[in-house]
Amino acid sequence: MRIGFLFNHDAAHQVAHSIGIMIAYAKCNPGHTVIALVSPALLSIVRKRTNSARVELVTFGAGPVARAMGPIFDRIAPFSRRAALSANLELIAGLDALVATERTCLWAKRKLGARAPAFIYIPHGAGDRG
């Protein structure tokens, strides 16, 4: 099983919402591949927290044009997060499940249709400070 945990945000507080669950899952399921899909802004924080865990880190970002436009359009919509999802649709399609603390990722589910993995929503606060 390939399970991804999405950290597709610029705010560091998002890491606390699910990283404890991800680390526990990796330790309890050694036969599964656990992948942290991490925005460039959160990569160092997630790397530090997963130091001893069996978690593969994958940088999860938008392309250069979308990154340049992000500061303008993020004011009115989650443009950068959706652009990162769009740029990584094939990676998402290769997962059996994707765990996320935000609903923006459901756009990828609609886009992938039958190729979409199971989406697991963890409400903010579910794994805090883990």
Residues 12-44: tens digit of each pLDDT: 777 888 899 999 999 999 999 999 999 988 999
CATH topology of domain 2-121: Rossmann fold (3.40.50)
- What is the domain partition of the chain in residue ranges? 2-121
| Residue 70: predicted pLDDT | 85
Model pLDDT, residue 99: 96
Q: What global pTM score does this model have?
A: 0.89
pLDDT tens for each residue of 72-108: 998 998 888 889 999 999 999 999 999 998 888 899 9
pLDDT at 9: 74
Q: How many CB atoms lie within 10 A of CB 75?
A: 8
pLDDT of residue 16: 84
Residue 123 confidence (pLDDT)? 81
Alpha-carbon Rg for the chain, nearest whole angstrom, is 14
User: How confident is the model at residue 125, as a pLDDT?
Assistant: 62
